[in-house]
Amino acid sequence: MPMQCNSCGGKYNTALPDGLLYFHACAPLPPTPGNPFVVVEHPNKRDENVVIDPHNMVLPDGSVLPLQQARGRGGVLTQATSIVSAGLGATAV
């Protein structure tokens, strides 16, 4: 499905031509003439790369919730799968 990142404006498909899933991450901003070697991340960077942590769930605001607390809230979690950063989300195009 064609998508557009609401953080950086990049357009991408959720699946590659060979069927593998694609997880978008915003590229850094281009270097400035005065600081060509300084890497500056995009504000509200979106990074859909999946992180698996058997003990904690990383929430979109960056805080960490131990899985024991998540289970105590009625969750049925055996391990957490989290997106690194949701940024501003994405829109189908």
Closest CA to 56 of 32, 29, 75: 75
More confident residue, 23 or 53: 23
What is the extent of the structural domain holding 46?
Answer: 2-92
Annotate the chain with DSSP letters as a single string. Answer: -EEEETTT--EEESB-TTS-B---BPPPBPPBTTBTT--BPPTT--EEEEEEESSEEE-TTS-EEEHHHHHHTT---SSEEEEEE-TT-EEE-
Task: Work out the percent of the chain whose per-residue pLDDT is above 70.
Answer: 63
> Residue 39 pLDDT > 80, yes or no?
yes
Residue 52 has pLDDT above 80, yes or no: no
Tens of pLDDT, residue by residue over 70-88, are: 655 444 444 455 555 566 7
Distance (Å, whole) CA 25 – CA 6: 12
Mean pLDDT of 31-36: 83
Higher-confidence residue of 22 and 60: namely: 22
Instruction: State residue 4's pLDDT score.
Output: 93
As for how many domains the chain has, the answer is 1
